[in-house]
Structures are given as structure tokens and as C-alpha cells.
Amino acid sequence: MCPLSELRTFNGFTFSNDGWHPFVATTDEYLNAGHRGYTGSILEQFYQKWQPKDALEALIGASHGPKVLREFPAYTSHLPWLEIRPEEREAVMAKNIRDENRCAGNIKLDASSGYGLHGPVSPEKAEIEYRRIVRIAESISKHGFDRAKAGEDVTVTAVERGGEYRFCISHGQHRVAVLAALGHEEVPVSLIRVVSLNEVNHWPQVYRGVWSKAEAEAYIDHLFEFDAHQWAAARGLV
């Protein structure tokens, strides 16, 4: 069981009451503020106001990170502990986005249509993301959350720094966002891996020189310290 206060997206968005995540805010708006439809929603505002130009900018806190990430699309989300190289990660993420769109009933949309955690997105992709949030919100509100029936678990990487942990989510953000908006304080997760900052020199992308040790350390500090609520407030999203 993972406390929401310790759960993070790859760019630092948070799921707890004192944090901020676009899917949590959209779910809360739908369930509690009576807003129906993507047009005028917080999700629409988010996609309009947060449009990173590349994979480095998409990390939010890694402006001094690996310059090579400037050469990759924003959806790449290449992290220092991953085994695969940036170009391989780009291909994996592009496939994941295509698969998500196909599961939503649109076989024509590829990664160029946009990614759920930032803009710009096409109108079709925006509707896919919004409908997905609404569908899960309505289902869990009505039937509760049954881990056994949810299919794949929420998956995370446990990141340790000085004896504390943050859990970087890989799969299951929509589900967790709805649970957070409904007041849950922890969610069941499965660990993909555990990484420790003490072993940063041995992380694959640091060892290979894609990320420097200082860049990787700064990124981990971001996961622990980033104030997502303040970031959203500065953009008029709260």
C-alpha cells in the first residue's frame, strides 16, 4: 500500500491533497463541481498552458539535465535509472500511446496526437483522455475499487534518498487520480524496481554518460521537493 503523499509522476506531479495533478483536479471538478465535458475543463486549461517543447522540458525540474533530451519528443520521459537508451524509450512510449488510443477506439491516432501528461493534444486525444477519466470516476464511484478486477496493478519505481522514499508511477495514473479525488490516502501498487541515490553512479544512464551524476541527483531532489500545487497556481490552474 503506497501513501499518496509519496507518489509522483515522472515530472513531479503529486496526488495528495497538498499537491496537484491534472487528472485529480479534473476528476474533482467532474464529481464535485458539476462540470461536464472537456470544453472549459481544468484538463483543457492544462493542455493549453503546459506544452513542453522536448523531453527535457517535460521533466519540469531538469532544465539543467541532459542536453541530448532536447532532441527527443516531450512524451519520451527518459529517466536516469532506465536501462534503455533515449531513442529506445521514445519508441516504447510512442507505441504505448498508439496502443492507448486503439484501446479507446481510435486506430488512427499516433503519438503526434499528443500525450496525456502535457499539451499540445489534438481534439480527438483530448476527448480520449477526458472520457477515460470520467469512465473510471463513474465506475469507482458506483462500484468501488476492486484491485482484483482492475487488470494490471498500478506500477511504480521506489526511489530512495536518505532513508526516505518517493514512488514514481509508471502505469495506472488515471486510476490513482480518481482514488485520490475520492479521498483515498493510499493505493495498492506493484514495485517494478527499487533505486537508491547512494548507487547513482551505477544507474544505467549515468554509467553510460547520458545523465551526469549531478543531473541525476538534481532530478531526484526534484521528485522529493517539487511543489506541484505552487506550479499549478502560478499557471492559473488552481
Q: Specify the amino acid at residue 100.
A: E
**Could you tell me if 228 and 211 are in contact, meaning their C-beta atoms sit under 8 angstroms apart?**
no
Nearest CA-CA partner of 175 in 198, 196, 147: 147
pLDDT at 61: 77
Strand ranges of the sheet holding 7-8, from the earlier edge strand across to the other edge: 7-8, 164-171, 154-161, 189-196
Predicted local confidence at residue 4, as pLDDT: 96
Please, which residues bridge with residue 48 across strands? none
Return the ∠ at Cα 168 (arms to 190 and 186), rounded to 5°: 60
pTM of the model: 0.95
Helices (H), the chain: 22-32, 42-49, 86-103, 123-143, 173-181, 204-207, 213-225, 228-234
pLDDT at 149: 75
User: Of 184, 231, 182, which is closest to residue 28 (Cα–Cα)?
Assistant: 182
Which DSSP state fits 150?
A: S
According to the model, what pLDDT value does residue 176 have? 97
For 22-91, give the secondary structure using H, E and C: HHHHHHHHHHHCCCCCCCCCHHHHHHHHCCCCCCCHHHCCCCCCCHHHHHCCHHHCCCCCCCCCHHHHHH
The number of angstroms, rounded, from the C-alpha of 108 to the middle of its chain's C-alpha atoms is 24
Q: Give me the pLDDT at residue 194, please.
A: 97
d(CA 148, CA 152): 9
Q: What is the pLDDT along the chain (238 residues), one digit of tens a residue?
A: 999 999 999 999 999 999 999 999 999 999 998 888 999 999 999 999 999 999 999 999 776 789 999 999 999 999 999 999 999 999 999 999 999 999 989 989 999 999 999 999 999 999 999 999 999 999 999 999 888 777 789 999 999 999 999 999 999 999 999 999 999 999 999 999 999 999 999 999 999 999 999 999 999 999 999 999 999 999 999 9
CA–CA distances in Å: residue 217 to residues 19, 58, 210: 22, 17, 13
Distances (CA, A) of 154 to 74, 165, 223: 23, 17, 18
> Quick one: cell of 78?
527518459
